[in-house]
Amino acid sequence: MRWYYKLPLRLRSLFRREQAERELNEEIQFHLQSLIEQYLAQGMKPEAARYTALRELGHLDPVKEECREMRNVNFVENVLQDLHFGLRMLRRNPGFSTLAILCLVLGIGSNAAVFSWIEGILLHPYPAVTHQDRLLMLAATRRGDAGYNGLSWPDFQDLQRSCTLCDAVIAEKIVGVTLSIGDRAESGTGSVVSSNYFDALGVRPILGRGFQPDEDFGRNAHPVTVISYQLWQNRFHGDPLIVGKTQVLNGRPHTIVGVAPKGFYGTFIGYSWKLWVPISMQERFEPGGYKMENRGERWIEGFLRMKPGVTAEQVQAEVSTLAERLENSYPETNRGQGIKVLPLWKAPFNGASFMLPTLGIALGIGVLVLLIVCANVSNLLLVRFFARRHEITARIALGAGRGRVLQQLLTEGLILSLIGAAGGVVLAYWCRNLLSVLIPPRSAPVFLPGQMDWRVLVLSAGVCLISTVLFGLVPVLENSKVDLASALKTESGSVIGARGRARVRGGLVVVQVSLSFVLLVGAGLVVLSLEKIRTASPGFSIDGVLNTAVNLMATGYDTQRAKNFHDAFMERVQAVPGIESAAYGRVIPLGYRSYSEASIAVEGYEPARNEQPILEYNEVGPSYFATMGIPLISGREFTRADSETSPPVAIVNEVMVAQYWHGEDPVGKRFQVNGRWMQVVGVAKVSKYRSILETPKAFFYVALRQNFAPTVGLNLRTNQPADTIARALAREMHALDPDLAPYDVSTMRERVERSTSAQHAAVMLLGIFGSLAVVLATIGLYGVLSYAVSQSTRELGLRMALGARASDLLRIVMSQGLSLTATGVVIGAAIALGGTRLLGYLLYRVSPLDPLAFGSAFAVMMFAALAACLVPSWRATRTDPVRALRQ
Amino acid sequence: MGKPTDLVQGTLDVLILKTVALQPMHGWGIAQRIRQLSNEVLQVGQGALYPALHRLEQQGWIQAKWGESENNRRAKYYSLTRDGAKYLRQQQAQWSRLSGAIDLVLEAT
């Protein structure tokens, strides 16, 4: 009953078998002796007493076996025996074992890799942060708008004060930072955070401290920073006395108060941060002026940590109530504004949003690949077990139960998949950074690590077991119904393609072909849509335009100085040889920075009662449209004459004209932007603003000079390569102010490609796995056909002897292979017709039923099938009738 | 010979437990004692006895220890464990209830 009493007994039975066995013998012997003594006492002769006793006891072995049975050791012993035997069989057939294990490594490994990516990127993306499952992302919503915004600092503070269900509410915003290093400057990314950031995340700085509560307040009053472990190592060479030293950030010395621990990269999925500064320093890092007291400035991307045992729904309810209260108290700024909590994997602001669909598809691909692999290994096992049918028959003839044989064959399958799983986990570990490689480079280093933890290992073990059942069951069941009588006959006389076993194998090939076909169609669709994206015009020039950014948050420039700098720098830039035109624009299209938003009122347009027209706009300089290659439909573009002293002007896009002016040319008309009247001076064609995939939307432009921002993007039209221009820009900027560094120079094409990184990753994944699947299916088909040919030599020989020509035999074998393939393709097409819709998000102007994708998948599959049929067919034609018939 | 077919299945366990409850005993002794106590009615063959002993030991109701027999040979002595005593009490109670009930039925007819 009690485990501490039973356990030693069980262990003794298992590991000290010899002793247990000896004792059992001794015990039975004692019984025998006692019986003999009894007979002696009754007066028998010793010989007769012994003989009688032995006869009475009868056969002793069954008794001993029954005793062993009682000790429950047989099951474990059998498993050990099977393992031992299974390993020996694998060693004896290295070719088969290697192929099967390789397949399984691929199948289980690709699943483990996808699990580790999902774990490391979506579910538990911050390895150094404690209790990530209690973290939620905070986002603001606006009635009638599906997207998400940031929160304002006053709203955030109200939330922080009133949230009773959370342990902490954390504010964060990604910002660009310029570090002055000696006489040069270097730009990087970091974030401004609320003072509770490190404490609430459970991240303890390894040196110094995190931030203190008073560092949330006071306009630009706390020039302190916590630096990342990498920055500490790379820039400061791990200086143990770093705390207290200063580093110039954006032109102002900041005291380093702490060093974040190794393995903490910040809380923005996809990137790793260089440093953190307190949120009170917002004005010096986040563009757009001082925002800390303005409820209408929504810029904070926050987190919230739930109290233990609280659900996200409860938190949402509480947060929504607060949002309603804020809406009532501050209708000016908060009308229609809601607050939403989201699980980390749905976070709208960081890398999670563009990785989510990619990883979803990767998961689907993983399942398909696993199924294909299982079908392939299943096929291999069928052949292996079939070759061993004599051994299995002998076992059954000698009295092994069918269950016992089944157990042994399954154990062999389990050995295969265990080795496969071990290899797969290693493979997944190597591939954990693969996604960072598949995604085109960004200005900041992409950081998308997979993570191997117990959850991933448990899931992989599950996959391993499932696959054992998947690939093991068919061959094992096939073999356990061995017919004793017929099993000893040779089978080389069978007819091609006519046996039940061949049908099972054929079925497995059909599974492989159909699933590979699905993968091929998927790959074709994403390739086509990527091609469409590449050739679709975003509404501005893709080639011949470079972008960079000028960050004047840096040197604490006041507005006048910044304007002077802009002018002086523009003059120098325009003088650089090879630059045709240059223009500032606060936001560069398809970038991370968000556009300004304003509520507008158009003369002659009556909004619906519940409607509050809010549009995004960009602040751009003279000759912006010429530089970007955005055509103007009517009117003019901004010039240097549109200055602070001239009347405010705006250029609107054609969608806005259609929406608010009923399609009439609005040039010369007026509309209100945040209560300020602006005159329309031009109409621009619609272009892409945030994403290449967006639908055309209403948008307008205002003159940068009349709506000044010190930190702006710089667009250049040139025929020079990017690095030449980058060197020239750095030189010119350095000449004006040595504390300034331009951001990386990127081409417009790079930007377009970046904005389609999800498609790129999907193309790579589908491409790699699609071709793998085709190779596996080809191997499977080849295996089935060559086996069929080798098993029916007698039939083929007979046909030849009766006058069949080589071409007839070729046709027989080929038609068998091609009919299997055709069946697979038909089934695959049916699956693909229903399944490709799931690619939805990734498809751009490509129908999920695109005939070109289906057609090319068909062509590839047929080509692979022909290749697989070729060798077996050729071998069939070489059958020697005389030898075949003599067998 | 062989299994005591007269016995209700499972009663052998109770008989063994009851026998070793008095004092530690080896297999031979247990068989002899059951025979004596039942006035030679119940003959327990070794084919049933030893598997039963091993099963009871695995279940933790009896424990085994090697000792010296009456004629100075090494023998495996079984004794009742605390769990075994509890189990025996339960089984005994159940047995009396059952046999009482059977008696009632038999007398009534």
Provide DSSP, B80-94.
E-HHHHHHHHHHHHH
Question: Which of A30, A33, A40 is the mutation pick for testing B, counting most B CBs within 10 A?
Answer: A30
Question: Which of A1, A30, A72 comes nearest B73 by C-beta?
Answer: A30
- Site of tokens 């619609």: A686
Name the residue among A270, A271, A357, A268 with its Cα closest to residue A761. Answer: A357
Q: Does B19 touch chain A (CB under 8 A)?
A: no
Q: Which residues of A touch B (CB under 8 A)?
A: 1-2, 5-6, 9-10, 13, 23, 26-28, 30-31, 33-35, 37, 56-58, 62-63, 66-67, 69-72
Q: Which residues contact A786 (CB under 8 A, 6 or more apart)?
A: A871, A872, A875
Q: In terms of pLDDT, which residue wins out, A165 or A711? A: A165
Question: Which of B36, B46, B63, B88 is the mutation pick for testing A, counting most A CBs within 10 A?
Answer: B46
Question: Which of A6, A31, A58 comes nearest B28 by C-beta?
Answer: A31
Tokens coding A122:
């979506």
CA angle A193, A194, A196 (to 5 degrees): 120
Tokens coding A275:
């440093």
What pLDDT digit, counting tens, does each position of A422-466 carry?
A: 999 998 888 887 777 766 555 445 677 778 888 888 888 888 888
Q: How far apart are the C-alpha atoms of A392 and A475, rounded to whole Å?
A: 13
What pLDDT digit, counting tens, does each position of A554-601 carry?
A: 556 778 888 999 999 999 999 999 999 999 999 999 877 778 888 888
CB contact under 8 A, A9 and B51: no
Tokens coding A215:
């560092």
Distances in Å between the Cα of A753 and the Cα atoms of A540, A746, A847, A857 are 14, 11, 21, 25
CA angle A172, A177, A179 (to 5 degrees): 140
Tokens coding B2:
């062989």
Query: Other CB atoms closer than 10 Å to residue A669's CB: what's the count?
Result: 16
Name the residue among A885, A883, A877 with its Cα closest to residue A804. Answer: A877
What pLDDT digit, counting tens, does each position of A702-757 carry?
A: 999 999 888 889 999 999 888 889 889 888 888 888 777 777 788 888 888 777 77
Q: What is the distance of C-alpha A662 from the center of its chain?
A: 45
Name the residue among A343, A368, A344, A350 with its Cα closest to residue A114. Answer: A368
- Please check the confidence at residue A615 and state whether its pLDDT lies above 70: yes
Question: Which of A3, A5, A27, A72 is the mutation pick for testing B, counting most B CBs within 10 A?
Answer: A27
Q: Does B89 touch chain A (CB under 8 A)?
A: no
- Please check the confidence at residue A410 and state whether its pLDDT lies above 50: yes
Q: Does B68 touch chain A (CB under 8 A)?
A: no
What pLDDT digit, counting tens, does each position of B19-57 carry?
A: 898 889 998 889 888 888 888 877 787 778 888 888 888
Phi and psi, residue A148, nearest 5°:
-120, 150
Q: In terms of pLDDT, which residue wins out, A412 or A316? A: A316
CB contact under 8 A, A63 and B73: no
E strand or H helix at B35, and its extent? helix B27-37
Phi and psi, residue A379, nearest 5°:
-60, -45
Confidence at residue A440, expressed as pLDDT on a 0 to 100 scale = 57
Confidence at residue A777, expressed as pLDDT on a 0 to 100 scale = 82
CB contact under 8 A, B58 and A70: yes
Confidence at residue A584, expressed as pLDDT on a 0 to 100 scale = 94
- Tell me the shortest Cα–Cα distance from B75 to chain A, in angstroms: 7
What pLDDT digit, counting tens, does each position of A210-254 carry?
A: 999 999 999 889 999 999 998 999 889 999 999 999 998 887 899
The answer to whether A120 touches A432, Cβ cutoff 8 Å, is: yes
The answer to whether A587 touches A593, Cβ cutoff 8 Å, is: yes
CB contact under 8 A, A1 and B74: no
Q: How far apart are the C-alpha atoms of A109 and A463, rounded to whole Å?
A: 10
Alpha helix ranges (H) inside A632-755: 654-660, 722-736, 748-754
Tokens coding A468:
């054992």
Tokens coding A383:
């052949």
Query: What's the total number of domains in chain B?
Result: 1
DSSP at A490: -
How large is the ipTM? 0.83
Confidence at residue A658, expressed as pLDDT on a 0 to 100 scale = 92
Name the residue among A770, A764, A727 with its Cα closest to residue A745. Answer: A727
Nearest CA in chain A to B44: A57
CB contact under 8 A, B58 and A6: yes
What amino acid occupies position B76? K
B6 within some domain: no
CB contact under 8 A, A63 and B55: no
DSSP at A92: H
Q: Which residues of A touch B51 (CB under 8 A)?
A: 63, 66-67, 69-70
CB contact under 8 A, B46 and A31: yes
Highest mean pLDDT among A667-671, A797-801, B105-109: A667-671
Confidence at residue A375, expressed as pLDDT on a 0 to 100 scale = 87
Q: How far apart are the C-alpha atoms of A715 and A622, rounded to whole Å?
A: 11
Confidence at residue A179, expressed as pLDDT on a 0 to 100 scale = 84
The domains of chain A are located at 3-72, 132-351, 353-534+757-886, 545-754
Confidence at residue A216, expressed as pLDDT on a 0 to 100 scale = 93
Question: Which of A34, A58, A67 comes nearest B50 by C-beta?
Answer: A67
Nearest CA in chain B to A69: B51
CB contact under 8 A, A27 and B73: no
Q: Which residues of B touch A10 (CB under 8 A)?
A: 58
What pLDDT digit, counting tens, does each position of A326-344 carry?
A: 999 998 888 888 999 999 8
CB contact under 8 A, A9 and B71: no
- Tell me the shortest Cα–Cα distance from B96 to chain A, in angstroms: 24
E strand or H helix at A634, and its extent? strand A632-635
Q: Which residues contact B52 (CB under 8 A, 6 or more apart)?
A: B12, B13, B16
DSSP at A302: E
Percent of chain A with pLDDT over 90: 29
Q: What is the mean pLDDT of chain A?
A: 84
Query: Other CB atoms closer than 10 Å to residue A50's CB: what's the count?
Result: 17
Any idea what the CATH number is for the domain that residue B92 is in?
Answer: 1.10.10.10
Q: In terms of pLDDT, which residue wins out, A65 or A482? A: A65
What pLDDT digit, counting tens, does each position of A11-69 carry?
A: 666 667 777 788 888 888 888 888 888 888 888 888 888 888 888 877 777 777 777 76
DSSP at A172: E
Highest mean pLDDT among A276-280, A289-293, A831-835: A276-280
What amino acid occupies position A568? A
Question: Which of B28, B53, B73 is the mutation pick for testing A, counting most A CBs within 10 A?
Answer: B28
- Please check the confidence at residue B1 and state whether its pLDDT lies above 70: no
E strand or H helix at A862, and its extent? helix A851-877
Confidence at residue B36, expressed as pLDDT on a 0 to 100 scale = 86
Question: Which of B58, B66, B72 is the mutation pick for testing A, counting most A CBs within 10 A?
Answer: B58
- Tell me the shortest Cα–Cα distance from A8 to chain B, in angstroms: 10
Question: Which of B54, B59, B68 is the mutation pick for testing A, counting most A CBs within 10 A?
Answer: B54
Q: Does B67 touch chain A (CB under 8 A)?
A: no
Name the residue among A52, A14, A864 with its Cα closest to residue A509. Answer: A864
Q: Which residues of B touch A58 (CB under 8 A)?
A: 1, 47
The answer to whether A626 touches A637, Cβ cutoff 8 Å, is: yes
Q: Which residues of B touch A20 (CB under 8 A)?
A: none
Q: Which residues of A touch B73 (CB under 8 A)?
A: 30, 33
Question: Which of B46, B58, B74 comes nearest A63 by C-beta?
Answer: B46
Confidence at residue A723, expressed as pLDDT on a 0 to 100 scale = 84
Tokens coding B86:
């509890």
Burial class from Cβ neighbours inside 10 Å (0-12, 13-18, 19+) for residue A183 reads exposed
Tokens coding A666:
């609005």
Name the residue among B1, B13, B5 with its Cα closest to residue B78. Answer: B13
Confidence at residue A492, expressed as pLDDT on a 0 to 100 scale = 43
Confidence of residue A401 (pLDDT cuts 50, 70, 90): low
Percent of chain A with pLDDT over 70: 91
What pLDDT digit, counting tens, does each position of A75-88 carry?
A: 667 778 888 888 88
Name the residue among A319, A488, A480, A513 with its Cα closest to residue A403. Answer: A480
- Tell me the shortest Cα–Cα distance from A348 to chain B, in angstroms: 59
- Distance between start and end Cα atoms, chain A: 64
Distances in Å between the Cα of A583 and the Cα atoms of A345, A407, A572, A625, B70 are 38, 75, 13, 8, 112
Q: Which residues of A touch B27 (CB under 8 A)?
A: 27, 30-31
Question: Which of A5, A26, A35 comes nearest B60 by C-beta?
Answer: A5
- Please check the confidence at residue A499 and state whether its pLDDT lies above 80: no
Q: What is the distance of C-alpha A191 from the center of its chain?
A: 25
Q: Does B3 touch chain A (CB under 8 A)?
A: no
Tokens coding A95:
């070719």
The answer to whether A261 touches A229, Cβ cutoff 8 Å, is: yes
Average pLDDT for A675-691: 91
Name the residue among A538, A519, A560 with its Cα closest to residue A775. Answer: A519
- Please check the confidence at residue A656 and state whether its pLDDT lies above 90: yes
Question: Which of A1, A33, A70 comes nearest B54 by C-beta?
Answer: A70
B5 within some domain: no
Confidence of residue A198 (pLDDT cuts 50, 70, 90): very high
E strand or H helix at A597, and its extent? strand A596-602
Helix (H, G, I), strand (E, B) or coil at A242: coil
Q: Which domain holds residue B16?
A: 11-108
A and B: number of Cβ contacts within 8 A: 69
Q: How far apart are the C-alpha atoms of A175 and A188, rounded to whole Å?
A: 9
CB contact under 8 A, B47 and A62: yes
- Tell me the shortest Cα–Cα distance from A508 to chain B, in angstroms: 47
- Tell me the shortest Cα–Cα distance from B98 to chain A, in angstroms: 25
Q: B59-69 burial by CB neighbour count: b if 16+ within 10 A, else e? A: bbbbbbeeeeb
Q: Which residues of A touch B72 (CB under 8 A)?
A: none
- Tell me the shortest Cα–Cα distance from A397 to chain B, in angstroms: 28
What pLDDT digit, counting tens, does each position of A18-30 carry?
A: 777 888 888 888 8
Q: Which residues of B touch A13 (CB under 8 A)?
A: 58
Tokens coding A811:
């046709």
CB contact under 8 A, B54 and A26: no
The answer to whether A112 touches A424, Cβ cutoff 8 Å, is: yes
A845: left (phi over 0), alpha (psi -120 to 50) or beta: left
Average pLDDT for A528-536: 81
What amino acid occupies position A539? G
